[in-house]
Amino acid sequence: MTHLLNIENLHVAIQGEEILKGLNLKIKAGEVHAIMGPNGAGKSTLASTLAGRESFEVLEGTVRYQDEDLLALDAHERAAKGIFLGFQYPTEIPGVSNLNFLRTALNAQRRQRGEAEMDGGTFMKLAREKAQNLGISIEMLKRFVNVGFSGGEKKRNEMMQMAVLNPTLAILDETDSGLDIDALKVVSDGINALRSADKAILLITHYQRLLDYVTPDHVHVLADGKIVRSGGPELAHELEEKGYQAVA
């Protein structure tokens, strides 16, 4: 079976400094992978690079997604092909309501895929349903994107976007950080709801606690720009017990 995502020997620099130094990773549809690692290992660099942020310069290596050269695509094209980045620090956008943002994004993706745009009524129905599952009020959907949201609300809002956009590969960059236990539960439910045979999830996390709620198929340790160890869910526990230093 071919891989949904296949990263080979990826080297990435930001502002001239090499952060990823030959990273390899293969993800099949249906799988949940967790990448763990200490601060500065390159976790967020990997996430941003996969999502297509221009300031991250790929020096070497290949990334194939659905058997296509992912690096040749712009960020919005990647989104339309089903890649979703859950931001570690979701950006505030004053003047744009959540609902307008979501609908514009969804229809921008649909247009790129040659699908008809979703009309207002159908969209509202979808948004309401997803919001309800995540405990997000209509009031919150009418507010400006992430403006004045608490840390937990921002992360929940990322899950809301993920639920509406329904991606094939979700890359969640420390979506669990800064969450209290209730918010963590909501976010985990959102992630678990996306799990299916034709989708994959890449969890990037610093702590093991999210993995108590979302059980990964594979766990990788990222250190100094490379995957230094891979294993099953038990690796996460080992990391928690012994620390990165000992495991990596």
Partner 1 sequence: MTQHSESPSDVAAFHAAYDHLKPALPGAGWLRELRHVAMTRFLSLGLPGRRAEQWRYADLGPLRKGSFSPVTLAQETEQARIDAAAVPGLDAPRLVFINGRFQRALSRMEGLPADLAPQSLREVLITGGGSLRDLITDLRDGDAFDQLNTAMMSEGVVIDVPKGLKVETPVEIVYLVDDADDRAAHLRVVVRLGEGASLKLIESFKGDDSRFFTNLITQTTIADDAHLTLIRRQNEGAETVHISRIYATLGRGALAVHHLATGGQSARHELRADFTTEGGDVRYQGIQLARPHQTLDTLTFLDHAVPNCTSDQAYRGVLAAQAVASFQGKVLVRRDAQKTDAKQKSDSLLLDRSATSNAKPELEIYADDVQCAHGSTVGELSTDQLFYLMARGLSPLEAKAMLVEAFIAALCDGVPDEAARNAFIETARGWLQNLDIHDLALKEAS
Q: Which residues bind partner 1 (CB under 8 A)?
A: 14-15, 51-55, 57, 74-76, 78-80, 84-85, 87, 90-91, 93-96, 101, 104-106, 108-109, 112, 161, 165
Residue among 16 and 121 whose Cβ is closer to partner 1:
16
Q: How far apart, in whole angstroms, are the C-alpha atoms of residue 244 and residue 248? A: 6
Residue among 162 and 235 whose Cβ is closer to partner 1:
162
Burial class (CB in 10 A: 0-12, 13-18, 19+), 243: exposed
Q: How far is the CB of 162 from partner 1 (least distance, A)?
A: 10
Sheet with 5-14, edge to edge strand ranges: 17-27, 5-14, 56-65, 68-69
Q: How far is the CB of 108 from partner 1 (least distance, A)?
A: 4
β 93-97/144-145 pair status:
antiparallel
Q: Would you say 7 and 63 are in contact if contact means Cβ atoms under 8 Å apart?
A: yes
Q: How far is the CB of 65 from partner 1 (least distance, A)?
A: 15
Residue among 174 and 248 whose Cβ is closer to partner 1:
174
Residue among 53 and 229 whose Cβ is closer to partner 1:
53
Q: How far is the CB of 129 from partner 1 (least distance, A)?
A: 19
Burial class (CB in 10 A: 0-12, 13-18, 19+), 220: buried
